[in-house]
A = this chain, B = another copy of it.
Amino acid sequence: MSEKPAKTALTPSTHTAPPAKFSHGVRKGNILQVAGQVGFAPAVPGQAPVPVGPGLREQTLRTLANVEAILQEGGASWEDVVMIRVYLTDTSHFAELNEIYNEYFADLTEAPAARTTVYVGLPAGLLVEIDALAVLG
């Protein structure tokens, strides 16, 4: 019998509740989509989320950790990710972003995800936003 695949919201314990009616991540069948993550520190109950630091490095590493927490909540890992979208606010950050990115993903054993990087506006204080699409085996 063919079952309709469940659609599951992925909400890691490190995350604040979403500020609107969306999920931090969703898994349905073999598709896992991570919502746009930013460099917010782990949630503190009763407090508004704050970015971990003013710099690109801290924010990027925290953003990647936030994406990873959602992947893990859905039974996936970076190895399953096929696409990463990186939103920066300043083209002069590209080289540093790549440096951080390369360090972070140095130990991947599967093909790295495809990536698109574009430069947009983000809310004050945020330098980077990242989302990801995974296809599970």
Q: Which residues of A contact B (CB under 8 A)?
A: 4-5, 7-9, 18-26, 28-31, 33-36, 79-80, 82-85, 87, 91, 94, 97-98, 101-102, 105-106, 108, 110-124, 129, 131, 133, 135, 137
**Cα–Cα, bound, A71→B87 (Å):** 24
| Chain B residues near A87 (CB-CB < 8 A) | 116, 118
| Chain B residues near A24 (CB-CB < 8 A) | 114
For this chain, the copies found in one complex come to: 3
A51 to chain B, nearest CB (A): 14
Q: Verify B111–A7 contact, CB threshold 8 A.
A: yes
* Known contacts A21-B106, A94-B123, A124-B91, A115 near B35 by CB under 8 Å: yes
**Cα–Cα, bound, A114→B29 (Å):** 15
- Residue of A26, A105, A124 contacting most chain B CB atoms (<10 Å): A26
